[in-house]
Amino acid sequence: MNCPICRQGATHAATVTITLDRPADGPGGSTTVVFRGVPAQVCENCGEQFVDEAVTAKLLQQAQAAASAGVEVEVRSYAA
Ligand SMILES: [Zn+2]
């Protein structure tokens, strides 16, 4: 697809690293989860990353689970 941000470049499939920060909302600390190998479309011109809605939902779900488990920082591979 054509990049909707810069309107110059084309995007291509790649895997990216996504960091999700979840602020502390209680007595526990904040949670940071780094996902590697996340499938995305990346613009060859501006480098903007576009992650699928379904993939984003999965990442948020896993970050939420990590937060519930009291994880502070975690690096994991994206599992479809
Ligand atoms: Zn672009």
Cβ-proximal residues to 71 (8 Å cutoff; 6+ apart), any chain: 31, 33
**Separation of CA 31 and ligand 1 centre (Å):** 30
Q: What percent of the chain has pLDDT above 70? A: 95
Cα 28 to averaged position of ligand 1 atoms, centre (Å): 38
pTM of the model: 0.84
Report the separation in Å between the CA atom of 78 and the middle of ligand 1, taken as the mean of its atom positions: 24
Distance in Å, CA 26 to ligand 1 centroid: 38
Tell me the per-residue pLDDT of 41-65, one tens digit each, with 9 for 90 and over.
Answer: 999 999 999 999 999 999 999 999 9
Local confidence band at 28 (pLDDT 50, 70, 90 cut-offs)? low
Q: Give Cβ neighbours of residue 78 (< 8 Å, ≥ 6 apart).
A: 15, 18, 35, 36, 37, 38, 39, 55, 58, 59
On the question of pLDDT at 35 being above 90, the answer is: yes
